[in-house]
Structure 1
Amino acid sequence: MSALFLILGVPLLGGMLLALVGHRSYARDINVVFSLLTFLAACVMTMQVIQDGPQFVWDKQFYIDPLNVFLVTLTAFVSLTTAIFSRPYMRIEQDHGKMTPARMRLYHSMYQLFSFTMLLGFTTNNLGIIWVAMEAATLTTVLLVSVYRTPASLEAAWKYFILCGVGIALALFGTILVYMAADKALGSEHATLLWSNLSDIKGQLDPTIMSLAFVFLLIGYGTKIGLVPLHSWLPDAHAEGPTPVSAVLSGLLLNVAMYAVLRCKVLTDGALGTQMAGQLMMGFGLLSVVVAAFCISRQKDVKRMFSYSSIEHMGLITFAFGMGGPVANFAGLLHMTVHSLVKSAIFFTVGHATQKAGTQVMSEIRGLIKVNPAVGWGLMLGVMAILGMPPFGVFASEFLILTTAMREQPWATPFLFLALGVAFASMLIRVLPMVFGESTLKPLAHPPALIPVFVHLALALALGLYIPPYLDGWYVAASRMLGG
């Protein structure tokens, strides 16, 4: 499939080229061009899958199906809009002396390589390559988080590297256990880590080995998702790295780790014939929602507050997939989509707001709607969307998750309502003064890139009102693949 070759080849080539010219003034435009080419290739591949169905590529090492094709397109789209947003943002950071030419080269090259690692993780059919992609994503993200080279950013990068390095090591052990189960079922000559092959014989996989493997995989990849109590790296990485990095971290990287867990859950459910995997996911997910909601109420840094919001929403997604079933799986996929769109839009507006104020402390950011109405309204609408106000798509997905929980897991419903209520009140009471308070802030030196903000919010609004038939078909087919 030539489109897949471009999806993986374009960002890889872009990373190499920008490693040479990433410090030039035109590097920001090159970064956008490569991201645009990747997105166009993803759209072509999507059309091919719609017309021809799931496809294997390169001797079954890559597999495109309803579960990953829309995630590939979403990743390429958010990467493109983030690259557009970062043009004026990084120029202002350079004017402020935060970004030297060497740091700009590092940022642009690692941005493209980071996109490559995420797309590789989504498209590969090999569980071993998924692990390699997640490890590579960790390494590129460490460099992006530490790009300012301040003591706080270096500390956050090391914390991220150590915690996620331990998590990835646990995921590697889980992957090895999956291979052991395949070896026991098929023999050493036919043992494989190709997910499609393992899915065909999942009923033959040793249940004891697979149950142990899933525990390691959930803890390992759960570290990357930011599930409590494995989440402590995420607020620091969001707060200390550049805002474009926060946008792709929160909106995209967490989805890759969730995707890896879902692939492994399908195998575990088939091998065990029980709800063990789902129960673990519900437990970690519910704990993450509750803890993150109360942590939001204690934050003073705006980027840290929204990072805890990401933990909350990823916990809600994990809980939905843990419940399983067609409705909960559908809701989980929809929530992944709208969360990526809305949270990245919020970080775009937060990036401009913090540049205006020169600080990330919420009490010192006031009156955004008077300084720049587009930034103020963008932040306000984004917050209303992420809090689940109708008619945004987050409301639709949360409504499906909560109603399914009332029917199938009533014990969890009070905790979900409590956590969502606390998060709603805590976030709203902090954002309202930021938007509508009195301010003496001055306009930015360069016009901010606000088109991506309102494009994301418009898409999230549209998904709350109407899901196109082909997108609905993807969600239904992917929900069916996940089973439950």
Structure 2
Amino acid sequence: MEIYWLLGIPLTGGIFLALWGCRKNAPEINALFSFLTLIAAALLTARIVEGGPMMVGAGWFFIDSFNVFLVALTALVAFTTSLFSRPYMRIEQEHGRLNAQRLRLYHSSYQIFIAAMLLALTTNNMGILWVAMEAATLATVLLVSLYRTPASLEAAWKYFILCGVGIALALFGTILLYFAAEKVLGSGGTALQWTQLNGVKAQLEPTVLSLAFVFLLVGYGTKVGLAPLHSWLPDAHAEGPTPVSAVLSGLLLNVALYAVMRSKVLVDGALGNNMAGNLMMGFGLLSVVLAAFLIKRQTDVKRMFAYSSIEHMGLITFAFGMGGAVANFAALLHMTMHSLTKSAIFFAVGHATQKAGTQLMADIRGLIQTNPTLGWGLMLGTVAILGVPPFGVFASEFLIITTAMHEHPWATPFLLLALGVAFASIFGKVQPMVFGETELPKLSYQPALTPVFLHLGLVLMLGLFIPPYLADWYRQAAQLLGG
């Protein structure tokens, strides 16, 4: 029953806000629907943790430790982002960047986007997973182009074209998957049900499965932001509203990687070797190294942190590619840490760029003087995402690096070099933004920073101590992925 509430609440919210989203209290309605979605996700999570995996709706939905973990994370970040967007979007309207009609489009598209991602995570059908990813793409195209400036329209068009190509490749991979499954399971909807495929994966044609995975990895990998099809991501972050940047980095990239991992489990079972893992390691390592050196060249703060997202998603992809209990555990932990930390950073960056009236880092100075809470929020978020202990990113990165040292020592120097370059570049650019000299007056209002410190508090707690039940949850999910 919880699954229907989980999917129905944001879908109802999207329809309701599309019809009545011009009201002054639309931001509060958006936050209310997001909160109800979070409650539904919490109830579903509790049921799975207590009772184990379950299938719902005649096999159309399947929930286990892996996807319910991402459902809980998605619902949490979606709710905190809706809280952040309340004052942020109102100020954008006061500044004349948005009108009531565009705010209605924003709130309705936001709820539809959340519904599409939750459908992608919970469906048992690989075809519906593809449809849900396409729906999420279309919703975010509208969100990225919200300002209707030439730059935002160009970014949205670039996002649509590149991710459209990617999703088309993923469709071809899904068709190949069906082609292989049809010979074993027969024609019909069950041939694309993941649970059915997982049960007969050893009988599937290895050649077809390996070809299908290449298309699925490149297709969904485009949405993950893996190099070399990553160029849409910095533009979408820089030109879209900051709440959209938060959910893109914190949620959408995870959901796309989830689709890749569901496919990898099938391919590993069919091939009996690490072909899929080697491909993921290659794309992941390329993304980490390329993004680290591109960070150094950035002058726009949102573009810089967008490249940081590419770097971290590359690191997670590399860890999943290595496989095994420790690497999968570390990748899942890093997914959590990155989602919470990067969304917190975008919350702080959103208020900072609104205050300064620019996204250029050279023009943003002395945040610690104009608003100490905002300055410390950005600084702590930056330190956390750079992997400084005791924040949780350090723990997950440490596990990934040490596993790479043990199993793939050739990759370790590249990872360490990339992380070192990214650390020096980001810290060197953020430090004057926070502690530099400025003549700007103190901020006249107190920005909504509760979501920032809530996320950073969770990241700090998980860096110091992972509760036993949460560690067991991660281990169960890691085992489902072949750990």
CA deviations 1:153-180 (Å, max 9, x no partner) are 0000000000000000000000000001
CA deviations 1:407-462 (Å, max 9, x no partner) are 00000000000000000000000000000011123445543110000000000011
Shift in CA distance, 190/299, structure 1 to aligned 2, threshold 3 Å: closer
Give, in whole Å, the separation in 2 of the partners of 1:237 and 1:191: 37
The answer to whether structure 1 residue 312 and structure 2 residue 290 are counterparts is no
Give, in whole Å, the separation in 2 of the partners of 1:445 and 1:127: 50
Cα contact 1:329–1:479 (8 A) shared by 2 = yes
Name the TM-score, length of structure 1 as normaliser: 0.99
- 1:144 CA drift (Å): 0.1
Cα contact 1:183–1:191 (8 A) shared by 2 = no
1:65-464 alignment, distance < 5 Å: 65-188=64-187, 192-444=191-443, 446-464=445-463
Give, in whole Å, the separation in 1 of the partners of 2:43 and 2:476: 20
Cα contact 1:356–1:443 (8 A) shared by 2 = no
Name the TM-score, length of structure 2 as normaliser: 0.99
- 1:141 CA drift (Å): 0.2
Give, in whole Å, the separation in 1 of the partners of 2:83 and 2:450: 9
- 1:4 CA drift (Å): 1.0
Aligned to 1:478: 477
Q: Which amino acid aligns with 1:132?
A: V
Cα contact 2:392–2:459 (8 A) shared by 1 = yes
Give, in whole Å, the separation in 2 of the partners of 1:117 and 1:189: 24
- 1:471 CA drift (Å): 1.3
Larger deviation: 392-401 or 464-473?
Answer: 464-473
Give, in whole Å, the separation in 1 of the partners of 2:193 and 2:390: 41
Larger deviation: 41-50 or 30-39?
Answer: 41-50
CA deviations 1:376-416 (Å, max 9, x no partner) are 00000000000000011100000000000000000000000
Percent of residue pairs bearing the same amino acid type: 71
CA deviations 1:270-328 (Å, max 9, x no partner) are 00001100000000000000000000000000000000000000000000000000000
Cα contact 2:370–2:443 (8 A) shared by 1 = no
Cα contact 1:251–1:340 (8 A) shared by 2 = yes
Cα contact 1:114–1:141 (8 A) shared by 2 = yes
What is the aligned length?
483
Q: Which amino acid aligns with 1:407?
A: H
- 1:468 CA drift (Å): 1.4
Cα contact 1:356–1:441 (8 A) shared by 2 = no
Q: Which amino acid aligns with 1:403?
A: T
Cα contact 1:179–1:191 (8 A) shared by 2 = no
Q: Secondary structure at the match of 1:71?
A: helix
Superposed CA RMSD: 0.9
Larger deviation: 217-226 or 41-50?
Answer: 41-50
Aligned to 1:9: 8
Give, in whole Å, the separation in 2 of the partners of 1:421 and 1:286: 14
Q: Which amino acid aligns with 2:74?
A: T
Give, in whole Å, the separation in 2 of the partners of 1:408 and 1:424: 25
Unaligned runs of 5+ in 2: none
CA deviations 1:192-233 (Å, max 9, x no partner) are 111011001000010000000000000000000000001000
CA deviations 1:104-157 (Å, max 9, x no partner) are 000000010011011111111111111001000000000000000000000000
Aligned to 2:37: 38
Give, in whole Å, the separation in 1 of the partners of 2:423 and 2:269: 38
Aligned to 2:17: 18
Give, in whole Å, the separation in 2 of the partners of 1:444 and 1:119: 37
- 1:189 CA drift (Å): 6.0
Cα contact 2:347–2:452 (8 A) shared by 1 = yes
Cα contact 2:371–2:443 (8 A) shared by 1 = no
Give, in whole Å, the separation in 1 of the partners of 2:286 and 2:184: 35
